[in-house]
Structure 1
Amino acid sequence: MASPVTDIPAASPAEAAAHFARKLSLETDCWDVHESLRSGSPDFVLLDVRGPAAFAKGHLPGALNLPHGKITERRMMEWPEGTLFVVYCAGPHCNGADRAVLRLARIGRPVKLMIGGITGWIDEGFALASGS
């Protein structure tokens, strides 16, 4: 008798590799963002897509505040084509980052979602910056 784990067979190793490579092309996590910021020369623009009041209370060091509703093609022209944007919001309970990722992708900008959002950042024990 199969267990709930093996009731549905695992994907082939090739299918698993393709799936997780695709997933990692769309997402990053708090640890990887932290390490990139710590290096002093991140190769992406970090966007906090929450409102200005939430941003002022605490945000990731180096993040720019750009609420998802204000992401427009014209606004994003401030950065060269090909600039990678890493986007986060409040956490897994918030879809603001998903909305921002969708907007950026629709205007042709490379983008990754930082899974966990600010909640994940705090859970990892990383410090926040404050102010605008």
Structure 2
Amino acid sequence: MSYVTEIAPAPAEHVIEHFSRLLSLETDCADVAHALNQGPDFVLLHVVGTSAAYERRHIPGAIHLNHRDISSERMAEWPQDTIFVVYCAGPHCNGADQAALKLALLGRPVKIMIGGITGWADEELPFATGPEAGDFKLAA
């Protein structure tokens, strides 16, 4: 018996529950890119760094809103049922976690884009520069 099979796999219903819950909390770079290309049904938030860092490199379509600036007053710009996807610098950064918590405390639906900027770069997806969110389109 190997270390892999020493502990038996969980029953299917536990696996379904676990991964359904996990996928309700997070998404990945490829799925975000696909959705942005189709016309997103969420708001993508770049939640770390300064405006200058955002202008140097961000995901096309993302709005810069530092997690420290998330408040009920600031979020009033969007309808209450708006879904937010938040990302930060990468796996070494917890800005997206902080943003997701703040949004959830405000009763806002939210997911984290795992990998953040690092994951986006690893997928060789394009970045935008400048102060505007801009549009995202993958080459056909």
1:49 to 47, 52, 69: 47
Q: What residue number does 2:75 align with?
A: 76
Determine helix, strand or coil for the equivalent of 1:34: helix
The structural deviation recorded for 1:53 is 2.3
- Unpaired stretches in structure 1, ≥5 consecutive residues: none
The structural deviation recorded for 1:6 is 1.4
Deviations 1:1-56 (A, max 9, x none): x31111222110110011001100110000010001111x2100000011222211
Q: What residue number does 1:28 align with?
A: 27
Q: What residue number does 2:137 align with?
A: none
Once the two structures are aligned, what percentage of the paired residues are identical? 58
Given residue 95 of structure 1, which amino acid in structure 2 is its aligned partner?
N
The structural deviation recorded for 1:131 is 1.1
Q: What residue number does 2:91 align with?
A: 92
Q: What CA distance in whole angstroms lies between the structure 2 residues aligned with 1:76 and 1:7? A: 48
Q: What residue number does 1:110 align with?
A: 109
TM-score (norm 1): 0.96
The structural deviation recorded for 1:63 is 0.3
TM-score (norm 2): 0.90
Aligned residues: 130
Q: What CA distance in whole angstroms lies between the structure 1 residues aligned with 2:90 and 2:52? A: 16
Q: Which runs of 4+ in 1 moved over 2 A?
A: none
Q: What CA distance in whole angstroms lies between the structure 2 residues aligned with 1:106 and 1:6? A: 40
Q: What CA distance in whole angstroms lies between the structure 2 residues aligned with 1:54 and 1:14? A: 44
Determine helix, strand or coil for the equivalent of 1:47: strand
RMSD: 0.7
Determine helix, strand or coil for the equivalent of 2:4: coil
Q: What CA distance in whole angstroms lies between the structure 1 residues aligned with 2:21 and 2:86? A: 17
Q: What CA distance in whole angstroms lies between the structure 2 residues aligned with 1:7 and 1:73? A: 49
Deviations 1:73-93 (A, max 9, x none): 111010001000000000001
